[in-house]
Amino acid sequence: MAVLRLYRLIAFLAAPLLRFRLRQRAAMGKEDPSRIEERFGHASVQRPNGDLIWVHAASVGETNSILPLIDDLLTQYPNSHILLTTGTVTSAEIIAAHQNRQNKTCRRLIHQFAPLDRSAWVKRFLAHWRPQAALWVESEIWPNTILACAAKKIRPVMINGRMSPRSFKRWRRFSHTAKHLLGQFSLLTAQDEISATRLQKLGIENVVTPGNLKLDAPPLSVNPRHFEELQQALADRPVWLAASTHPGEEEQILEAHRMIAETIDSLVTLIVPRHPERGDAIADILRHGHASFAQRSKDETMQADNEIYLMDTLGEMGLAYRLADIAFIGGTLVPHGGQNPFEAAQLNCAILHGPHIVNFEILFDDLAARGAAAEVTDAATLATQVNALFNNRAAIDQMRASAKQYSATMGGVRQRMVDLLAPFMEGQNG
């Protein structure tokens, strides 16, 4: 497999470049400088005694989906320890907050940043942690890590696997390599039938579809005091939300806000960026657009003359969804592929989205089929749709009810996943 040999050679030679890039990312706030050595496989804490399961979740979405399942596993296997690795600072902060809330079980949950996919670093990581099993969330397929696990007789499980059209096209070009790497997995659980079919077309047989783990998470939490404070600050003003926005979308949101405000008095637009560290850059966009706004990360309270509230804080999406009846899902007006709309559905929002929905295409289609979601194409159509909903209370209520009803039918995935993972947790019940 020439492609795999070339990849391994490049990874071997790239060590200086990878170190330089990590230092760059640390300077930008995208890596934790105090824990940078974890990215080279150096553990920052001791390994606990006994069996240990390694779970890897790349970023925020994967982390939020796997934490409830980790809680289930730690509860069912009271003598187990779980090592959870991620690749972003934001996901680490989410895990720390979760550990504070779930203190009893999360004393057995350890977080580390994942080593980059270079053989020496992965081998160092595995030598320290010695996991009995590895559970990797969604589409994390790192060749050197897979092969290092195979050398240790560890065959990973893919959790909530997703195979996008782009990834499928790329892997089909190297089908022999794909079959070799994916064949190292002992089990692949796909989040939908389309992903399962694509995996099978790559020659993988041990694929099952227990459902989408992201659709069986509890509703996002909220601080009741903060919710009450903001409800009072917003009074009876009409509010809509742009959730999980990406670069290139905030300008369009501001443009849409201007159009809607022409006919909707006292309009408030909430903007919650996917990455809170972009808050100051978004604030600059709003200033340049002469918008009156308050920025939550600066402890600025919403005033009567503010038209936009920039919620650039971590872990408050549940608060934002509860404040608005209409939610636009970000990552869909730019070619990112979209963020998960299910959290909005759980919290009773009428859902709008742009055309770029490949990451959650089935979910968006299901919501649209039930009258819970509608597509827009740009700032103008977004403004038209929001305006129409504000002028038709019955339409908002119908979309919200349909979204909530759909979300209520999606339970049971976590228990099915716990059952499927039982063989890999053997020996951990003491």
Q: Where are the domains of the chain?
A: 2-212+412-424, 224-408
Strand extents, DSSP E, 193-255: 207-208, 239-245
User: What pLDDT is recorded for position 103?
Assistant: 66
Query: What is the pLDDT at residue 165?
Result: 86
Look up 62 and say whether it is catalytic. Answer: yes
Q: Does domain 224-408 have CATH number 3.40.50.2000?
A: yes
Instruction: State how far the Cα of 61 lies from the Cα of 39, in Å rounded to an integer.
Output: 20
Asked if the domains 2-212+412-424 and 224-408 are classified in one and the same CATH topology, the answer is yes
Q: Which of 31, 37, 38, 62 is catalytic?
A: 62
> Which of 325-349 are b and which e, b meaning 16 or more Cβ less than 10 Å from the residue's Cβ?
bbbbbbbbbbebbbbbbbbbbbbbb
372-411 pLDDT tens trace: 999 999 999 999 999 999 999 999 999 999 999 999 888 8
Cα(29)–Cα(345) distance, integer angstroms: 32
Give the model's pLDDT for residue 105. Answer: 67
**What's the angle, vertex CA 163, arms to CA 201 and CA 246, rounded to 5?**
160
Q: What is the pLDDT of residue 349?
A: 98
Q: Are 136 and 156 in contact (CB under 8 A)?
A: yes
| 22, 24, 60, 68, 377 from 30: Cα distances, Å | 9, 9, 13, 25, 31
Which residues of the chain carry a pLDDT beneath 70? 102-105, 426-430
Write the Ramachandran bin of 126: left for phi over 0, alpha for psi from -120 to 50, otherwise beta: alpha
Helix (H) or strand (E) holding 188: strand 187-190
Right CATH for 2-212+412-424 from 2.40.30.60, 3.40.1400.10, 3.40.50.300, 3.40.50.11720: 3.40.50.11720
Q: Please tell me what DSSP assigns to residue 155.
A: -
